[in-house]
Amino acid sequence: MKLTDFGIVKTLQDDPELTASGQLVGTPLYMSPEQSMSSDDVDVRSDLYSLGASYYALLTGRPPFSGSSILEILVNLRTTSPIDPREYVPEIPEACVRVLKRSLSKKPERRYQSAAEMLAELEAVLDSVHRRQQSIFQMERALPQPRLSGDVPIHAQGATLDGADIRPGTMERALAESIPNEYREISISRRNFLIGSSLGVVGMGALGFLALRNRRPSVSAERAMGQSPQTGPQAGFQDAQAPALIGKATIKVGVLHSLSGALAVSERPLADATLLAIDEVNAAGGLLGRMVEPIVLDGKSEVTSDSAFARAAQRLLTEDKVAAVFGGFGSGGRKAIKPYFEEHSGLLFYPASYEGLEESPNIVYTGATANQFVLPAIQWFAKQRDIRRIFLIGTDGLRPRAIEALIEAELAQRKDWKLSDSYFSVVGDFEFSQVIRHIKKLRPNLILNALVGDSSVAFLKQLRDAEILRKDIPTLSFTVGEAEMAQLSSVDLSGHYVARAHFPLVLLGNESGMVARFKNKYGSHRMVSETMEASYYGVHLWAEAIRRAGSDDVRAVLSSIKLKEFEIHGVRVRVDPSNQHTWKTFELGRLGAQNQIEVIDTGQQTLPPIPFPGSRTRAEWNVFLDSLYTRWDRNWANSRKPAHGHSR
C-alpha cells in the first residue's frame, strides 16, 4: 500500500500575500503558521506542529483550524488559537491536551524542539495507564459488527476495546449511527487503516488516550451494572438503591441533537447537559425502580423533511419505544420530527428559545417564546439608544423569518424606527464579506443577529475584523450563548449584546449547583448557557412528573407536569397548561473584558409564554407559516441557496 498526499499536487494561489510566481506547497489544514507565510524559516519544528495537528484530528475527528476557503483557513491558522479539544470530546485527558498545546504553539521556540522530546512526553502519558497485552488489531477483529436495520441508522452495540459493555447513551454510540449500507465494509476497513496509521504517526499518544478512556465503563454503564464511580459530579449522590436495579428493565429515552455539522457547536453542549441530568436521576435511584437508559442519535444539522432528524425520531418512537425524547434546536429540525410524535403519541422536550407560532400536545417547550426574549430586548434598546435604522441578518429558517415579522410589527408602532434591510443565509454559511460591505453602506444604528451555529460564530468574527463592532453600532444576538462564545475566545466582542431567558430562581441571588456539577463532569473550561439549562431541567421536570404520576405513560406525565410548578435545584419550572410552554425571566447581557457576559437588565417579573403574538391572528400566523413552507419546497428551512433581503 502506498499513501499519497494529493494536497500538494495543485498550486494554491488564492492568497493575496503570495507573489504571482509564489507557490504554497502543503496541506493548509495541517501546516504550521511559518510554513503558510514563508519557507525560509521552516525547520523540524514545523513538522512537529503538523504532527500535533494530526494528533488533534485523531483525538477530535477534525483539524485544529477550518474555514470555507484556503484563505480563511490560513488567516485562522495565523491569528487564532485552536479550540480546546475537550469542547469536542470532554474525555480527552489533561496530559494529552498539554501535548497538543505545546506542539501547536504559534511560535516555534515554544514548541518541542525535537521529535525525541515530543516522544518522551507521549511515552509519559502511556506510562501512566495500564498497558495492553493484546494487539490492537486482534481487538479490532474481535469487535462485533454494527447492527443493520433497513434504512434506519446503524446503532453501535457490543464491546469496547477492553471488552466492557457499551451502554446506550454514550457519545461513541452516536458516532457510529447512520452509516449508509454501501459504506459499511469501507468504513470497517478504513477504521483498521486509521488505527494502523495512528500507531505510525502518534501511536503512543493515541493508545494512551484510548487506554485512559477505556480503563473503566462510562458513568451510565457503571450505573446500569450496579457499580459506583469513585469520582465525578455524581460522587455526592446516593447510589444505595442502584444494586437493587440490576437486571430490571430500563426506561429508555432519546437524546436527539446535532452532534456533527454546522449546528453541532450549539447542540453538542445540549446533549452533554441532558446526559448529566440523566446520570443524576440514575444516581438518585432511577425512576419507578428502574434505571433511565439514554439512546443518543445525531441529527447531523440537516434541516429538510427527509433528514437524519426525522429518521432518528421515527426510529426512537417505533423501534426503541422510548418514553420521551430530549432534543432539537433548530426550528427546521423540530418541525420535521413533530408529526412523528403526534402520530405515535410520543413526548418531546424542546429546549431552544424559538419563534413560537406552535403548540403541540406532544411537546413540552422548555425554551423561551419570542415575547420572553426578542421583544423585551427591542424595547430595552428603544429606551436606551437613539435607534433609527435596524439591519437584520439570520439563517433562512422559521426562527429568523418570524423574528423579522415580529420586529416589523413592533417597528410599525415606532414611527421613527425603520428596518433598513434583511439578509438570510442557509445553514452552514461562513462567508459574509458581501453583506458586511452592505451593512457599512447602510450605516444602521443596530444590527440584529439571528444566525445559528457556526454561521453566527463566523459572522461575528468577520464583523469584528471589519471593525464594525469597534464603532458605535451595537449588535444584538438572539441565538448566541456561552457555547458559541467559547469558539470566539480570541476575538474581542466587547460591547456586543445577547438576549436570552432563564427559569426564575426560587430565591433572588440563589444559584443552583447545575453549573458546578456540569463543570465537574465535563471540565472547568466548559461554559453553561440558558439553552443547556433548559435541556438539563427538562430531564428533571420529566423525572419529577413521573414520580408524582407513578407512571411513565405520556398522558400521565403531561397531566402531572401541568398540575403545578416544580422547584428543581434552586429554580422554579412552571409549564403553562394552556400551551405547554414554560414561564421565563428575560435577561439582556453585554459582553465585556475577555467576552464575559455581564447582565445589564433582568426582567422584574416572570413572563408568561405567548406562542402566537397578538400582532397577527392565529390564522394569519398559520398563513405566514404555510407561505414559508411552500417557498422552501415543502421544507421548514431553505437548504439550497442564500436568500437576500430586500431594501425597504
Q: Evaluate whether residue 557 is within a structural domain.
A: no
Q: Which residue has the cell 426562527?
A: 399
Q: Evaluate whether residue 543 is within a structural domain.
A: no
Tens digit of pLDDT for each residue in 579-624?
999 999 999 988 877 777 888 877 668 999 999 999 999 999 999 9
pTM summary value:
0.65
Cβ-proximal residues to 130 (8 Å cutoff; 6+ apart), any chain: 211, 215
Identify which of 484, 479, 335, 300 has the alpha carbon closest to the alpha carbon of residue 400: 479
Total structural domains in the chain? Answer: 4
Which tops the pLDDT comparison, 74 or 145? Answer: 74
Pure H helices in 466-600: 482-486, 514-522, 530-549, 554-561
In the structure grid, which three cell numbers stand for residue 139, read together? 481487538
Query: Does residue 433 share a domain with residue 327?
Result: no
Choose the final residue of a domain: 213, 247, 267. Answer: 213
Q: Evaluate whether residue 492 is within a structural domain.
A: yes
Tens digit of pLDDT for each residue in 436-483?
999 999 989 899 999 988 888 889 888 888 888 666 788 999 988 776
Q: Which residue has the cell 453538542?
A: 268
Which tops the pLDDT comparison, 240 or 59? Answer: 59
Tens digit of pLDDT for each residue in 61-79?
888 887 767 777 887 788 7
Do 473 and 463 form a contact (C-beta atoms < 8 A)? no
Q: Evaluate whether residue 545 is within a structural domain.
A: no
Which tops the pLDDT comparison, 150 or 309? Answer: 309
- Name the residue type at position 605: Q
Identify which of 72, 64, 67 has the alpha carbon closest to the alpha carbon of residue 32: 64
What is the predicted pLDDT for the residue at 575?
96
Cross-strand bridge partners of residue 364? 349
Query: Does residue 324 share a domain with residue 430?
Result: no
DSSP assignment of 449-479 equals EE--HHHHHHHHHHHHHTTSTTSS--EEESS
> How does residue 141 score in pLDDT terms, banded at 50, 70 and 90?
very low
DSSP for residue 330:
S
44 pLDDT above the threshold of 70: yes
Identify which of 542, 580, 613, 581 has the alpha carbon closest to the alpha carbon of residue 361: 580
Provide the percentage of residues in the chain whose pLDDT is more than 70.
72
Query: Does residue 579 share a domain with residue 447?
Result: yes
Over residues 508-535, mean pLDDT? 83
Query: Does residue 377 share a domain with residue 496?
Result: yes
What is the predicted pLDDT for the residue at 48?
92
Identify which of 72, 92, 85, 88 has the alpha carbon closest to the alpha carbon of residue 29: 72
Choose the final residue of a domain: 365, 389, 421. Answer: 365
What is the predicted pLDDT for the residue at 523?
87
Cross-strand bridge partners of residue 477? 449, 498
Provide the percentage of residues in the chain whose pLDDT is more than 90.
40
Cβ-proximal residues to 435 (8 Å cutoff; 6+ apart), any chain: 393, 423, 425
Tens digit of pLDDT for each residue in 264-314?
888 999 999 999 999 999 999 999 999 999 999 999 988 777 889 999 999
Query: Does residue 147 share a domain with residue 117?
Result: no
Do 374 and 449 form a contact (C-beta atoms < 8 A)? no
Instruction: State the Cα–Cα distance between residues 312 and 307, nearest whole angstrom.
Output: 9
Q: Evaluate whether residue 417 is within a structural domain.
A: yes
385 pLDDT above the threshold of 90: no
Query: Does residue 262 share a domain with residue 149?
Result: no
Choose the final residue of a domain: 347, 365, 383. Answer: 365
Do 174 and 224 form a contact (C-beta atoms < 8 A)? no
Query: Does residue 343 share a domain with residue 393?
Result: no
Q: What mean pLDDT value characterizes the chain?
A: 77
Instruction: State the Cα–Cα distance between residues 121 and 99, nearest whole angstrom.
Output: 7
Query: Does residue 599 share a domain with residue 471?
Result: yes
645 pLDDT above the threshold of 50: no
175 pLDDT above the threshold of 90: no
What is the predicted pLDDT for the residue at 348?
98
Q: Evaluate whether residue 541 is within a structural domain.
A: no
156 pLDDT above the threshold of 50: no
CATH number at residue 105: 1.10.510.10
Query: Does residue 595 share a domain with residue 448?
Result: yes
Tens digit of pLDDT for each residue in 530-585?
999 999 999 999 999 999 999 999 999 999 999 888 999 889 999 999 999 999 99
CATH number at residue 412: 3.40.50.2300
Query: What is the span of the domain harbouring residue 75?
Result: 6-127
Q: Evaluate whether residue 556 is within a structural domain.
A: no
Query: Does residue 269 share a domain with residue 200?
Result: no
109 pLDDT above the threshold of 80: yes
Which of 7-21, 142-156, 166-180, 576-590 is predicted most confidently?
576-590
Instruction: State the Cα–Cα distance between residues 234 and 282, nearest whole angstrom.
Output: 10
Tens digit of pLDDT for each residue in 216-257?
333 343 333 333 333 333 333 333 344 445 556 999 999 999
Query: Does residue 620 share a domain with residue 582?
Result: yes
Q: Evaluate whether residue 547 is within a structural domain.
A: no
- Name the residue type at position 6: F
Over residues 336-356, mean pLDDT? 95
Pair type for strands 363-365 and 152-155: unpaired
Over residues 380-401, mean pLDDT? 88
Q: State the first-to-last Cα distance of the chain, in angstroms, to the nearest integer.
A: 62
Cross-strand bridge partners of residue 348? 325, 363
What is the predicted pLDDT for the residue at 262?
82
For the chain, how many helices (H) and strands (E)?
Answer: 21, 17
- Name the residue type at position 324: A
- Name the residue type at position 270: L
The helix (run of H) or strand (run of E) holding residue 155 is: strand 152-155
Query: Does residue 322 share a domain with residue 430?
Result: no
The helix (run of H) or strand (run of E) holding residue 419 is: strand 418-425
Over residues 512-525, mean pLDDT? 86
